[in-house]
Amino acid sequence: MTTPRPQPLDAAPELHRRALALALRAADLARELVRAAERGESSSGASALGARLKLDGSVVTAVDLEVEARVRALIGAQFPDHAILGEELSDHESEAEAEPPSAYEWVIDPIDGTAGFVHGVPLAATLICLRERGVPVVAVADFPSIGRRLHAVRGCGTHEDGRPVRVCPSFDPKQDIVCHGDPYTFALSGHSEWIERAQGQLKFFRSYTDAFGHYLVARGSAALVLDAAMERWDLAATRLLVEEAGGIVARFPDRNDPRRSTVISGCEAGVQWMRDLLGAA
């Protein structure tokens, strides 16, 4: 498959350019909030961040809630007619079956990787995406603790700090890094055999979880990422960032929850190799 040559940002629709500017502002704000929380962290660890368990067993902090609320306010001020889906402040049960009330929907994960964040792992990300009739058109992934950021506009490529990035041009299972998410999530999604099949065939099969693995793929540092039990707010931004970097995101239904996805994401040759290995049609 030949990937179209990215166009300059000036060629993007005006709304997409405005949305990118807003998403970058929102990411700046989120970075400030996360770094402030890190500076104020005490020896009490998670409790200093206001961490608690949600009903699904995942972790949420006061920082997650504040970031999402502040990002929502920015979006609402500039695009009041746009819908918003966020990990922490949306009613996921009622929204799962309903169509968004607008053709434009923002999808927010205020802190992707909260479990690591509360333990001081500096790889959490803020994910912000605008979808147009369900298709991602603008995306930002910001990693506050390490000062890294990717952004993409559909048709205009993926950039890191103003520099275009691309996925790996080829794939070698004995040389390239392949990332995977937590093995627990593969068991949760009914795909635990994927990890078992892949690990014996790959020399560098590394656990880079959450959005960080997708970041490595989009910038060409890793060839592939396997990720499971991905929610809509996990996938919306990372999908566009990889696709606009010339990659492919192959999605497979979660065997236990149709709202979630299991993905193979990366360069075309690597995705096809992995699909063949796993028998994933």
- pLDDT tens digits, 76-131: 999 999 999 999 888 665 555 556 678 999 999 999 999 999 999 999 999 999 99
Residue 104, SS3? Answer: strand
Mean pLDDT, rounded, for 248-260: 93
- pLDDT band of residue 42 (cuts 50, 70, 90) is very low
| 34 neighbors 27 (Cβ within 8 angstroms) | no
For the segment 177-205, what is each residue's pLDDT rounded down to a tens digit?
999 999 999 999 999 999 999 999 999 99
Pair of tokens at residue 178: 């392949």
Q: What is the mean pLDDT of the chain?
A: 91
Give the pLDDT band (50/70/90) at residue 45.
very low
Per-residue pLDDT band for 136 (boundaries 50, 70, 90) equals very high
CATH architecture designation of domain 177-278? 3-Layer(aba) Sandwich (3.40)
Percent of the chain whose predicted confidence (pLDDT) is above 70: 91
Name the band, by pLDDT with cuts 50, 70 and 90, for residue 43. Answer: very low
The answer to whether the annotation marks 64 as part of a ligand binding site is no
* pLDDT of res. 55: 66
For the four alpha carbons of 208, 213, 216 and 221, in that order, the dihedral sign comes to positive
87 belongs to an annotated ligand binding site: yes
Q: Does domain 9-164 have CATH number 3.30.540.10?
A: yes
State both tokens at 40. 């104020």
On whether 112 is known to bind a ligand per the annotation, the reply is: yes
The phi, psi pair for 126, rounded to 5°, reads -105, 125
Length of the chain: 281
pLDDT band at residue 2 under the 50/70/90 scheme? low
Cα 45 from Cα 216, distance rounded (Å): 28
**Domain range annotation of the chain:** 9-164, 177-278
Chain segment 47-58, per-residue pLDDT in tens: 457 777 776 767
Q: pLDDT at residue 219 above 70?
A: yes
- What does the pLDDT read at residue 52? 73
